Structure 1
Amino acid sequence: MTTATPTRATRASRTNRPGADLRPVSFATLTLVEWRKQLDTRAGRWMLAVIAIVTAGVLAVMMAVNGGNHSFAAFVVGTTTPMAMLLPIVGVLAATSEWSQRTALVTFTLEPRRTRVGLAKVVGAIGSGVALLVLAVGLAALAHVLVVAFRDATPAWDATGALVGGLAITTVLYMAQGVGFGLVLRSTPGAIVTLFLAPTLFNLLGGLVPGMADVLPWIDLTTAAMPLTSTVWPDGAGWAHLATATLLWVVAPLAGGLWRTARSEISSS
Structure 2
Amino acid sequence: MTAVPAEHTADRTIDISQTQQTPFMRLVSVELRKMWDTRAGLWLLAVTGGLLVVALGIALLVVALNDDVNLSANEFSQIMVVPVSLLVPVLAIQSITSEWSQRTGLVSFALEPHRMRVVAAKLVTVMVLALATIVLAVVVGAVGTLLAAAITGNDVVWDIEAGQFAWVVANQLAYFVMAFAFGLVLLSTPAAIAVYYIVALLLPVMVYSTLYAFFDWARDVIPWIDLGFAMAPYMGQDMGEGVSTSSTTLMQVVVSAVIWVVVPLVIGLRRVARAELK
Normalising by structure 2, report the TM-score: 0.82
Give CA-to-partner distance per residue, 1:137-184, whole Å, 9 cap, x none. Answer: 011111111222343133211111122211110111111111100111
Letter in 2 for 1:53: G
Q: Is 1:26 the equivalent of 2:23?
A: yes
Distance 1:21 1:205, change over 3 A: closer
SS at structure 2 position matched to 1:155? coil
- 1:88/1:175 contact within 8 Å kept: yes
Letter in 2 for 1:214: D
Q: Is 1:38 the equivalent of 2:35?
A: yes
Partner of 2:260: 249
Give CA-to-partner distance per residue, 1:42-68, whole Å, 9 cap, x none. Answer: 111111122211111111111111327
Q: Where do 1:32-181 residues align within 5 Å? A: 32-67=29-64, 69-181=70-182
Partner of 1:8: none
Q: What is the CA distance between 1:221 and its match in structure 2?
A: 1.6
- 1:177/1:254 contact within 8 Å kept: yes
- 1:70/1:153 contact within 8 Å kept: no
Match of 1:204 among 195, 202, 207: 207
- How many residue pairs are counted as aligned between the two chains? 251
Letter in 1 for 2:131: V
Question: In the aligned structure 2, how far is the partner of 1:60 from the partner of 1:145?
Answer: 13
- Structure 1: state its 5+ residue gaps: 1-16
Question: In the aligned structure 2, how far is the partner of 1:212 from the partner of 1:150?
Answer: 43
The Cα RMSD (Å) is 2.5
Partner of 1:223: 229
Which has the higher mean CA deviation after the structures are superposed, 221-230 or 19-28?
19-28
Partner of 2:269: 258
Question: In the aligned structure 2, how far is the partner of 1:73 from the partner of 1:185?
Answer: 36
SS at structure 1 position matched to 2:22? coil
Question: In the aligned structure 1, how far is the partner of 2:161 from the partner of 2:259?
Answer: 29
Letter in 1 for 2:168: L
SS at structure 1 position matched to 2:88? helix
Question: In the aligned structure 2, how far is the partner of 1:181 from the partner of 1:263?
Answer: 16
Question: In the aligned structure 2, how far is the partner of 1:162 from the partner of 1:58?
Answer: 25
Question: In the aligned structure 2, how far is the partner of 1:172 from the partner of 1:50?
Answer: 21
Normalising by structure 1, report the TM-score: 0.85
Question: In the aligned structure 1, how far is the partner of 2:208 from the partner of 2:231?
Answer: 18
Question: In the aligned structure 1, how far is the partner of 2:209 from the partner of 2:76?
Answer: 30
- 2:100/2:277 contact within 8 Å kept: no
SS at structure 2 position matched to 1:28? helix
Give CA-to-partner distance per residue, 1:5-33, whole Å, 9 cap, x none. Answer: xxxxxxxxxxxx99898521121111111
Letter in 2 for 1:254: L
Q: What is the CA distance between 1:95 and its match in structure 2?
A: 1.8
SS at structure 2 position matched to 1:128? helix
Which has the higher mean CA deviation after the structures are superposed, 84-93 or 134-143?
84-93
Give CA-to-partner distance per residue, 1:202-224, whole Å, 9 cap, x none. Answer: 65267459523321111112222
Question: In the aligned structure 1, how far is the partner of 2:187 from the partner of 2:227?
Answer: 22
- Structure 2: state its 5+ residue gaps: 1-13, 239-243
